[in-house]
Chains A and B, each alone.
Chain A
Amino acid sequence: METKRVQLRPGVWLTYVMEEKFKTACFSVSLLSQLCRDTASMNALIPYVLKRGTNQSPDLQAIQERFDNLYGTSVDPLVFKSGEIQSSGFYASFPEDDFLPEGSDVLRGALSLTMELLLSPATRGGLLLPAYVESERENLADQIAARVNNKRTYAVFRCMEEMCRFEDYAIGRYGDEESCRSIGYRKLSRHYKELLQHAPVEMFYCGRAPFRKITEILSDLTATLPRGELDDEIGTDIRMNSVEEEPRITEEHMDVAQTNLVIGWRLGECMEEPDIPALYVFNAVFGGSPNSRLFLHVREKLHLCYYASSVLDQVKGLLLVSAGIQRENYELARDEIFSQLRLIAEGQISDVELGAAIAAIVSDMRSVPDSQASLQSFCTAQVLRGLEFGPEELAELAQEVTAERVARIAQSVVCDQIYLLSPEEGDEEEEIQEEEAEETT
């Protein structure tokens, strides 16, 4: 695997990965900006509106015919946040020409169409078409509202939202429903132009084409990208301590069968100089693998749940645990989760479990190059964090992590928020909340 990184134009970067083992290739283009409430849903909405039609192919039917003729090339809006950086753009996947009838040039076709979507939208009087903006605005707002449909991810989102309520990180990657519904086509057109001018642009390609060919095509296709003063001061504010001394507790009720418990911690002081390999290994020991404390104790020993797992946001410095339980087992589950974390902090980590956690991380990292989507997200995340090492280096570094270094992470974390999404049960809510608040002190 050959990887290169180059600046094609001011603030327009390409990460290039040469890989011949796949039958398809991928290309992504991302416009980066600071995540904030005023612009988040506009940034998110832009690729959806752009996908409705270009100058040359002004409606769904015309655009879709071009995708079909490119042997089912897909170009989909790609919107995500990494810490407090929001990224908005497209992800394209297309078959390698080597597998197609002779003379095919899907590579050029797919890259051109992706950049045409980004840079040459269907407009009237220089403005995005009102009908497209209105329809995609409603679709996106509906999609934001549909977060509630998946109770587990909804609970994780709500915990994070409560926990970071004084920080921009609380904003979802699509922004919030209310500001989304208020977007008009004039305002969006203006914002789109500004974004094109000021946003740093990250592109990623993985496939068989030589580096020179890709840079030539992309230099050509980005020639019309307007470039003004770049917003390169974007970044993430890391809060080390909890908002209040004791964890805040929020319980919400819904017509559900299961209670979703989510607990959020700040990673704390260890974020001053993050020990990245140890953070990965810590998560695998605590709740990120089937050999983890949460899986073995909360699920296998106490049989309290089907899932209990942890995730880290290394950029923002957060640890989140989620578990689906019966409401009456809340205290039991919570106490066990805290107790396992405390044991890790005390350094009670066996060689076997440390070895298993390291093996899991090594295997995860070494399989990154087996999937283009994993490569794309790994490389983009590294770039956004300003890190230069690849998955193989991380696998090597993980093997040197000691129990002490893992314990140090557990010692550093500070619990900030407990969130429960539980079945409706009438008027008892307030009483329960008070009671719990006392118990956790």
Chain B
Amino acid sequence: MMQRREYPMTGDVLYSGTAACGLRVRVLPKKGFTGSYAVFATDYGGTYRRFVLDGQEMDTPAGVAHYLEHKMFDLPDGENALTILSSRGADVNAFTSTDITAYHFQCTEGFEENLRTLLHFVSTPYFTEETVEKERGIIEQEIHMGEDSPGNANYYSLLGLLYQKHPIREKVIGSVESISRITAETLYQCHRAFYRPSNMVLAVAGDVDPEDVLRIVDEELAPADPERPQVLMESDEDLVPAETRSVLQMPVSQPLFLIGAKILPEKEGPALCRQDLVASLAAVMLAGQSSPLYHRLYEQGLLNRRFDCGADRSRGVAYEIFGGESRDPEAVFQALCEEIRRVSEHGFDPALFERMKRVAIGGNLRVMEDFEDVCVSLASAEFDGYCYLDMPAISMELTLAECEDFVRTWLQPERLVMSIVQPPEASQA
């Protein structure tokens, strides 16, 4: 049986249940929509490199979660799930992040058949040395594509400044060297450890019957080991960074910068959700589009519209992030530090806080429009121990004082680091 719960703030209803195999199932019925969307996700990402399997400690190469995601589409008998699903018109894809791997499709017809295929292929590991080998060339090209992305390069160099030990330092996709050590055996082990239904979530949105979804899962997936895998991750406790600057040179039109600060994340549950919301709101009030600092820097020509700020998090790590492009990133950094000092002493403008609450009311409605985002967020919030649809209500409970406390606790200027990607000429000047 699925449990029904209403969320009056956004007018949504969510059905939740656990299938016999241990898979958590979440369904968001959406009347009037033609397309249905499903994501089958596992609590496993690029940073989960060390874990315990059958009592033995495993240490896998960087890039293995992503490599596994590529190879999951292969089925025995030379069949391929991507081909099967897309030949029915379904728009199917997958992604691997630092702490989640998700397989998803969107379709306008044949939802039930497509859902069965999704559940089946993600639960059917089939790898041979030959098929694993043939993927290497494709992934190498994906690695090179990432190397040419200044945003990507900058992001990893920021993480490198923030974290000395945590595996978030390393690219989810791995390197040409690290993926050369991945074999069919590695993939089987990782699949066995992390792709058990009890470690996964199925989230569905669309004009579908929630009980049907649960029934299909029960028919497709056999009961499995209810235990969750034990992940081993080095943690970084030191909040003051060893290095505060990194500069890379790449063919870009003007310097791109990312400013970050480490936050120690709450363990899990609604407290973690609340911390994320406070972290984002504090960033937005410090430097977002409505902040006095942004207006000032914009008018001085130090920032443009391509500026964003907020908070990001992965298992065991969280950080505040401010990023954009500027002819003078150091000036932006100094101005941000000054604003942090000012807010630490005098607090935020209460009128700004009230406006941001109104913005949050509209924002909560807006995020619910994107099925893909909602389903992925439903899954990842489950892995963090809370229900994503509780987020709007929690966002309304935030207080001005906790945002100010957040700034004083986590954003002291000596904790801030900055990573810059700049055109080669800029360094010679």
**Chain A interface residues toward B at CB < 8 A:** 20-24, 59-61, 64-65, 68-73, 93-96, 99-100, 135, 138-139, 142-143, 145-152, 254-258, 289-291, 296, 299, 303-307, 324-326, 352, 355-356, 358-360, 362-364, 366-367, 369-372
Contact = CB atoms under 8 A, between A and B. Distances in A.
A27 to B, nearest CB: 15
Interface in B347-371: 355-356, 358-363, 365-366, 368-369, 371
B250 interface: yes
Most buried by A among B356, B359, B363: B359
A139 B304 contact: yes
B365 A24 contact: yes
A30 B32 CA distance: 29
Contacts of A94: 362
Contacts of A362: 89, 108-109
Contacts of A148: 251-253
Nearest to B305: A139
Nearest to A255: B251
B289 interface: yes
A324 B141 contact: yes
B35 A149 contact: no
Contact of A306 (B145, B151, B360): B145
B390 interface: no
Nearest to A303: B137
Interface of B: 10-11, 30-35, 82-83, 86-92, 106-109, 134-139, 141-142, 144-145, 147-151, 250-254, 256, 289-290, 292, 295, 298-299, 301, 304-306, 325, 355-356, 358-363, 365-366, 368-369, 371, 424
Contact of A99 (B10, B32, B87, B148): B10
Contacts of A73: 362
Contacts of B306: 143, 146
Contacts of A358: 89
A23 B147 CA distance: 39
A138 B301 contact: yes
Contacts, number: 178
Contacts of B145: 152, 258, 306-307, 324
Contact of B141 (A72, A139, A256, A325): A325
14 contacts: A61-B292, A68-B359, A72-B363, A99-B365, A145-B253, A255-B424, A290-B83, A303-B136, A306-B145, A356-B87, A359-B88, A363-B89, A366-B34, A367-B106
A289 B361 CA distance: 38
B253 A149 contact: yes
Given A23-B366, A151-B148, A255-B251, A65 B355 contact: yes
A55 to B, nearest CB: 19
Contacts of B256: 149
Contacts of A152: 145
Contact of B252 (A135, A143, A149): A149
A258 B147 contact: yes
Given A24-B369, A145-B254, A367-B35, A306 B361 contact: no
A23 to B, nearest CB: 4
Interface pairs A-B: 7 shortest CB-CB: A359-B89, A72-B362, A71-B362, A303-B137, A72-B359, A363-B89, A145-B253
A306 B290 contact: no
A70 B290 CA distance: 13
Contacts of B290: 64-65, 68
Contact of B32 (A21, A69, A290): A21
A257 B87 contact: no
Contacts of A68: 290, 355-356, 358-359
A363 B107 contact: yes
Given A71-B362, A146-B306, A363-B90, 7 more contacts: A21-B33, A72-B360, A290-B92, A303-B134, A352-B87, A356-B88, A367-B106
B148 A256 contact: yes
Nearest to A64: B290
Nearest to B365: A23
A142 B254 contact: yes
Contacts of A23: 10-11, 365-366, 368-369
A258 B251 CA distance: 13
A276 to B, nearest CB: 19
B30 A61 contact: no
B391 to A, nearest CB: 15
A46 B109 CA distance: 43
Contacts of B359: 68, 71-72
Contacts of B137: 303-304
A363 B86 CA distance: 10
A64 B305 CA distance: 13
A290 B135 CA distance: 16
A290 B86 contact: yes
Given A23-B11, A135-B299, A152-B145, A290 B361 contact: no
A164 B86 CA distance: 34
B131 to A, nearest CB: 11
A241 to B, nearest CB: 34
A151 B304 CA distance: 22
Contacts of B139: 306
B366 A95 contact: yes
Contacts of A142: 253-254, 304, 325
A150 B87 CA distance: 31
B89 A149 contact: no
A64 B252 contact: no
Contacts of B30: 21
Nearest to B294: A60
Contacts of B305: 139
Nearest to B288: A64
Contacts of B366: 23-24, 72, 93, 95
Contacts of B254: 142, 145-146
A58 B212 CA distance: 56
Most buried by A among B250, B253, B289, B306: B253
A255 B423 CA distance: 11
B424 A366 contact: no
B417 to A, nearest CB: 22
A49 to B, nearest CB: 13
Contacts of A257: 144, 147-148
Contact of A360 (B89, B253, B363): B89
Contacts of A364: 91
A134 B92 CA distance: 45
Contacts of B31: 21
Contacts of B92: 290
Contact of A20 (B32, B136, B325): B32
Contacts of A149: 150-151, 252-253, 256
Nearest to B360: A72
A69 B91 contact: no
A362 B138 CA distance: 29
A150 B109 CA distance: 35
Contacts of B91: 360, 363-364, 367
Contacts of B253: 142, 145-149
Contacts of A366: 34-35, 108-109
B34 to A, nearest CB: 5
Contacts of B108: 362-363, 366-367
A143 B89 CA distance: 36
A379 to B, nearest CB: 16
